[in-house]
Amino acid sequence: MRVRGAVCCVMLLALTAHGDEADYAIARAAMVDEVYFYATLARDTGEAALNEDVMQALGTVERHEFVPARQKPFAYENRPLPIGYGQTISQPYIVAIMTDLIEPGGGDVVLEIGTGSGYQAAILSALVHHVYSIEIIEPLADGAAARLARLGHDNITTKLGDGYYGWQEHAPFDAIVVTAAASHIPPSLVRQLRPGGRMIIPVGGQFTTQQLLLLTKTDDEKIITRQIAAVRFVPLTGEHQDE
């Protein structure tokens, strides 16, 4: 794993809503360096902070394609941005660590809850065999499906629905990525995780501290939970009840 160079802390580029591809590419590279820098700070073991494949996906997927026109100048800032309907595209650093923690492999089938803009799904699609993604807000679901098709992500299947129940038809999943904060861990998602699988999920209320949890299902179907970090996500909505 090569050590990344100096972090570009100051974004010298003034990207416009119509920034050209070269400007975006430079801004994206700076964003990747910044994400790596923060991941290194968070991990004090001396190990590589993030898997190189994850960094490469982050450096390839064009975040400016996933944000509304007026947000494009800020597309490569390391922060969440509004995507409409009170929702956000997640902070690149959080996308990176969530992706890294599920240890994506080339043969994996992954479920994402909360398609939003489609950005997290696009990052996953570069790393795994197939991504299934569920979004509860119809215009976001439609917009993401059209965007992902236009950008050529042909290993992503999306649907409109309440992700609390998962997607039984395509289970079990090697990994599940939940990108909205749940009040508790949805039992259906645990059931749909294959033995050996990993789930990353923010848990907590809208106005209380949320914890990003990594769940691993052992081969004998026990759940091991690791607390990763305090985070802030929009809530997992829907009228769902435990089954």
Q: By CB under 6 A, name the binding residues for ligand SAM.
A: 87-90, 113-114, 116-117, 119-120, 134-137, 140, 162-164, 179-180, 233-234, 236-238
Closer residue to ligand SAM in complex, CB, 163/204: 163
Looking at residue 79, its amino acid is R
Closer residue to ligand SAM in complex, CB, 89/109: 89
Q: How far apart are CB 220 and ligand SAM at their closest, in Å?
A: 30
Task: Give every CB contact of residue 80 below 8 A, 6+ residues apart in sequence.
Answer: 88, 89, 90, 91
Is 90 a known active-site residue? yes
Closer residue to ligand SAM in complex, CB, 55/140: 140
Please list the alpha-helical segments (H only) found in the chain.
21-42, 52-60, 92-101, 119-125, 138-150, 187-191
Token digits of residue 80 = 């969440």
Q: How far apart are CB 103 and ligand SAM at their closest, in Å?
A: 19
The Cα-based distances of 99 to 12, 16, 26, 68, 130 in angstroms read 28, 29, 23, 23, 14
Strands 173-178 and 109-113: parallel
Residues identified as active-site: 90
